[in-house]
Amino acid sequence: MKMRDAVSWHRPLMIVGLGCAVLVPVGAVAVLADPRTLLGAPIWLKPTKFAVSITIFCITWAWLYGQLRARSGRIRGVHAAGTVAAVTVAIELVAIAFQAGRGTTSHYNVSTLLDGTLWTIMAVSIVVAWLGTLWLSGALFAVRGLDPARSLAIRAGAVLALAGMALGFLMTSPTPDQLADFRGIAGAHSVGLPDGGPGLAVVGWSTVGGDLRVPHFVGMHALQLLPLLLIGLELAASRVSALARPRVRRDLVAVAVAGYAGLLGLVTWQALRGQPLLSPDPWTAAAAGVLVLTVAGGAVLTLRRSRSERAARMPDGGGHDRAETPP
């Protein structure tokens, strides 16, 4: 596929996505070259991470729009919704980079008139981007003729991504400590302690308290991970006979969707209780264990049911084929 063909999926989304992709190495150089830090992290790390996220967001939705157009023709308002989403996420990145250049925070910052104005612009952009994404997601349900597993992976991924984006709004409310001693910051991604402090490498998620960026990240990227799982199942279908059946792939994707939704709920519950991602308490660990066993059990039952149904349809003398059929 030529670059010209990819850009034609949805030109505004692709332009913003590719533009942000170009900015990623620029940001990486800035992280190394600029010694300044903010809240314990290199000052240009946040704009660089957002550039990566926006690249993935825009290119994914541009591709999905191309699928929509190819299968459903022109759907009212969908191209405009994609354009609005592209413009608003670009505005957010510009504001983040501008504030980083000034050496101050962008999110939740209302310390001065300029800071408050920029945060208001960002907040409005985030809401409008979410609404544009909602319209795009709704359009996915109008597509007909997709393989059942593909349809489920794409639609469920879009819904979970919307939920992940919406979880970001939990970060915009002032904390009790901020209300008791207001210092120009109204909102936080950490739970149980101020923003900043020890965090995981690159992503920066807190290692000493809850962090709402975890469920925000997990939810948003369902739109990439679930379709990638489907692609893996389709590629494996040529070697695993059970996966050649569309119904089996659909059922496995359904199990994965349920598991992913459970994971999103679990990390949200964990963060809201002030727990670091990698330091769960016994209740969180037990819930995670139940989730893993449930998903694994669902996958095994799906494959065994497929094997039993296939064996029941085989004529007598097919025992050799049944023995070679993977579970």
Dihedral sign, CA of 235, 237, 238, 239? Answer: positive
As given in the structure block, the two tokens for residue 229 are: 């799982």
Residue 64 scores a pLDDT above 70: yes
pLDDT of 325 higher than 50: no
326 pLDDT above the threshold of 50: no
State residue 36's pLDDT score: 95
Question: How high does pLDDT run on average in the chain?
Answer: 90
Q: What is the pLDDT of residues 98-133, one digit of tens each?
A: 999 999 999 999 999 999 999 999 999 999 999 999
Please give the residue that has the higher pLDDT: either 197 or 52.
Answer: 52
Tokens in use for 66?
């191309």
Please tell me the least confidently modeled range out of 18-27, 128-137, 147-156, 235-244: 235-244
- Indicate the burial class of 132 (C-beta count within 10 angstroms; 0-12, 13-18, 19 or more): buried
* Three-state helix/strand/coil letters over the chain: CCHHHHHCCCHHHHHHHHHHHHHHHHHHHHHHHCCCEECCEECCHHHHHHHHHHHHHHHHHHHHHHHHHHHHCCCCCHHHHHHHHHHHHHHHHHHHHHHHHHCCCCCCECCCHHHHHHHHHHHHHHHHHHHHHHHHHHHHCCCCCCCHHHHHHHHHHHHHHHHHHHHHHHHHCCCHHHHHCCCCECCCCEECCCCCCCECCCCCCECCCEECHHHHHHHHCHHHHHHHHHHHHHHHCCCCHHHHCHHHHHHHHHHHHHHHHHHHHHHHHHHHCCCCCCCCCHHHHHHHHHHHHHHHHHHHHHHHHHHHHHHHHCCCCCHHHHHHCCC
Question: Apex CA 129: angle with CA 164 and CA 78, to 5°?
Answer: 110
Q: Is residue 189 pLDDT above 50, yes or no?
A: yes
Highest mean pLDDT among 180-189, 209-218, 301-310: 209-218
User: Who's near 163: CB < 8 A, 6+ residues apart?
Assistant: 219, 264
Give the chain's largest Cα–Cα span.
81
Q: How far is the C-alpha of 98 from the C-alpha of 171, rounded, in Å?
A: 21
For residue 1, the model assigns a pLDDT of 58
Degrees to nearest 5, angle at CA 200 with 275 and 185? 70
Please report the pLDDT score of residue 74 as a whole number. 57
Burial-class residue 323 by CB neighbours within 10 Å (0-12, 13-18, 19+): exposed
Phi, psi of 37 (to 5 degrees): -125, 160
- CB under 8 Å to 32, separation ≥6 — which residues? none
Average pLDDT over residues 297-320: 74
User: Is 218 in contact with 160 (CB distance < 8 Å)?
Assistant: no
